[in-house]
Amino acid sequence: MNTTTNREWWKEAAVYQIYPRSFADSDGDGVGDLRGIVDRIDYLDRLGVDVVWICPVYDSPNADMGYDIRDYRTIMDEMGTMADWDELLAELHDRDMRLLMDLVVNHTSDEHEWFQESRDLDGGKDDWYIWREGSPEEPPNNWISLFGGPAWTYDEVREAWYLHLFDEKQPDLNWENPDVRDAIYDMMNFWLEKGIDGFRMDAISCISKPPGLPDADTGEDWFDMDLYFNGPRIHEFMREMAAETFENYDVMLIGETPGADPEEAKKYYEDGVDMVVHFDHMDVTYGPGGKWSPDYVGMETLASAGDDELDAMLNTMDLADLQAAIRYWDEGVGDEWNCLYMGSHDQTRAVSRFGDDRQYRRESAKLVATFLLSQRATPFLYQGDELGMTNADWDSADDIRDVEARGQVEMLMADHDVPYETIAPFVRNRSRDNARTPMQWDDGENAGFTDGDPWIQVNDNYPEINAAEALDDSDSIYHYYRRLLAFRRESDVLVYGDTEYVLPDETYPNVWAHRRTLDGESVLVVLNWQGEERTLDTDWVDAPVLFGNYAASERDGATLRPYEARILDRSE
Ligand code: NOJ
């Protein structure tokens, strides 16, 4: 189908994700804050994004940087005040931009008062979390946390185990308990009433647990986490949530649904979710064994190979795999909708992962932008990707802030008996901290992010890669995004068109092409996804170029330059 009859504002919108801690610090405490965002709204407006999603800014002890919430209705001190938040919403709305809040309801912080009360059997909230009695020596089942290590912690106060699918400071709420659900819906309505434009629902597929919490299947080097996701009551909970909260508002809902395939995603759509966050296209750059397994490279290579070589090995991608992942979701959801991102606060930097952040940083970042903004999906831009910000070097384990990376690095060092230096290249290509280094605003101290000591190291390359430089340079990655966003906004075919997947094939394994078609209009997107020139059959490129990352004078007919991207007019 795919006609424009199913128009929705959130399909046409481009979302910009802000990691507030690392965006802009207005008060010199080294941590980004709401006022910092308010001060930079014009930068976002000029870029041309429509929706801003901010990662959690609620009161939190920051074990997982805000994804461990201590109080859902209070702004974290470091981030400012509720008055700052109100101003942020008003300033965005004044510019016709919208605001999405992160909704983290699979777990709270262990410092949330609900958990504190739950530790006391007589506190009235004894079953608000998932507790099991038993010997302190033996956890209730074999589950491991999504961050590594056991998923259970023994609480000395209550003398019982509690479940945490993430960090031990993130105990899972017991969604079986209707009082818990009511308290969550109340909180959601509090924010909806304040006028927000939607939620990004964190780990929402985890909230319903399998009855009896059975052991997961496991083998020598694998562990089946499917049990954690899309549990038996998930859609009942989602429908109840919809009826009690978001169904009554015109909002955009993005479900982060680990473990969901397109069939499962459709059930979330029936529940009222507009799009789900999927991960398959992110997995294509990992080796066998997944994100944190370096075995396919080997410790000796990690210890001895040069940076360029390691970065390439740790981000190898078969373009056909990327296409299979995109296609799986695009075709899998049918007439429903997807979102797409190439970077986020949970991923490494898009240009380092999918492009070449050394020799062809500018060209390949623009190619990634062309890819992202030409799919049938709401694009999510992650802060700094519009500048082509890159992964960083993590010279010392003490510099690591990410709870996931810290745990994994400890395990890798212990399992392989190697010093941190051996693992450091792996951290440069895996840790979420790479996306969390401060936004690079200018070439001044700390990249213009803060007057104080930044909470996380600034990437050394800020003197060359920064927003001030990008704004001044009409050929910058920023301006490319800005022009392409404007182009997409005017182009129904890029938003709503059907997609036909054309390349790669055996002849052109490193060239991507897809066609978008709508009501007689047709464009062909051709991306030379490599640092070498490639001459195509002229049929491919014999059409007017509507958009591209090389100037007309630099284009060379049917020969695509390294990382060249073209959007061609193929309308009859
Ligand atoms: C997904 C979030 O994106 C991630 O940053 C967080 O660590 C986990 N959910 C747990 O809340």
Give yes or no for residue 3 having a pLDDT over 80: no
How sure is the predictor about 5, in pLDDT bands with cuts at 50, 70 and 90? low
State the average pLDDT over residues 519-545: 94
Q: Residue 542's pLDDT is what?
A: 86
Q: What pLDDT, in 10s, does the model give residues 374-390? A: 999 999 999 999 999 99
Tokens 């410790």 map to which residue?
299
Torsion of CA 518, 524, 527, 533, to 10 degrees: 180
pLDDT in tens, 389-403: 999 999 999 999 999
Query: Which segments within 3-137 are labelled E, that is strand?
Result: 15-18, 51-54, 58-59, 71-75, 98-104, 131-132
CB 176 within 8 A of CB 186: no
Task: Say whether 472 is catalytic.
Answer: no
Percent of the chain with pLDDT over 70: 99
pLDDT at 78: 97
pLDDT number for residue 220: 80
Ligand 1 centroid–CA 498 distance in Å is 32
CA distance 75 to 509: 49
Which mutation among 22, 58, 103, 104 tests ligand 1's pocket best, with the greatest number of atoms within 8 A of CB? 104
* Catalytic residue check, 443: no
| Sheet containing 378-382: order of strands | 275-277, 252-256, 198-202, 98-104, 51-54, 15-18, 378-382, 339-341
In 69-78, which positions are buried (b, 16+ CB within 10 angstroms) versus exposed (e)?
bbbbeebbeb
pLDDT reading at 224 higher than 60: yes
- pLDDT computed for residue 4 by the predictor: 54
For 519-531, write each residue's pLDDT tens digit.
Answer: 999 999 999 999 9
Q: Is it the case that residue 370 has pLDDT exceeding 50? A: yes
How many angstroms separate the CA atoms of 221 and 383, rounded?
A: 36
Q: Where are the alpha helices (DSSP H) in 272-384?
A: 280-283, 299-304, 307-313, 319-332, 350-354, 361-373
Of the residues 33, 168, 256, 357, only one is catalytic, namely 256
Catalytic hit among 33, 84, 172, 202: 202
C-alpha of residue 348 to centroid of ligand 1, in Å:
14
Q: Which of 18-22, 205-209, 407-411 has the lowest mean pLDDT?
A: 407-411
The residue assigned the tokens 């958009």 is 547
- pLDDT tens per residue across span 90-116: 999 999 999 999 999 999 999 999 999
How confident is residue 1, by pLDDT bands cut at 50, 70 and 90? very low
* Digit-coded pLDDT (tens) for 162-195: 999 999 999 999 999 999 999 999 999 999 999 9
What is the C-alpha to C-alpha distance for residues 80 and 74, in angstroms, rounded to an integer? 10
CA distance 50 to 53: 10
- Please write the tens of the pLDDT for every residue from 349-364: 999 999 999 999 999 9
Task: Give pLDDT, residue 312.
Answer: 94
Q: Report residue 538's pLDDT band, with 50, 70 and 90 as the boundaries.
A: confident
The whole-number average pLDDT for the span 509-535 is 97
Q: Give the residue, out of 53, 166, 257, with the most ligand 1 atoms within 8 A of its beta carbon, to mutate for a pocket test.
A: 166
Q: Which residues line ligand 1 (CB under 6 A)?
A: 64, 67, 104, 166, 202-203, 256, 345-346
Half-sphere exposure of 219 toward its Cβ, with a 13 Å CA cutoff?
Answer: 4
pLDDT value at 2 more than 60: no
Distance of CA 329 to the CA centre of its chain: 16
Q: What is the Cα–Cα distance from 354 to 367, expressed in whole angstroms?
A: 9
pLDDT for the residue 318? 97
pLDDT confidence band for 148 (50 / 70 / 90)? confident
The yes-or-no verdict on residue 508 having pLDDT over 60 is: yes
Kindly report the average pLDDT of the chain as a whole number: 96
How far is the C-alpha of 101 from the C-alpha of 193, rounded, in Å? 13
| Cα(392) to centroid(ligand 1), Å | 21
- For the segment 291-344, what is each residue's pLDDT rounded down to a tens digit? 999 999 999 999 999 999 999 999 999 999 999 999 999 999 999 999 999 999
Distance 200 CA to ligand 1 centre (A): 11
Report CA(407)–ligand 1 centroid distance (Å): 15
DSSP string, 228-267: GSS-TTHHHHHHHHHHHTGGGS--EEEEE-TT--HHHHHH
pLDDT at residue 539, rounded to an integer: 82
Q: For 52-78, how does the pLDDT look when each residue is reduced to its tens digit (9 = 90+)?
A: 999 999 999 999 999 999 999 999 999
Among protein residues, the one with the nearest Cα to ligand 1's atom 11 is 67
Residue owning the nearest CA to atom 6 of ligand 1: 67
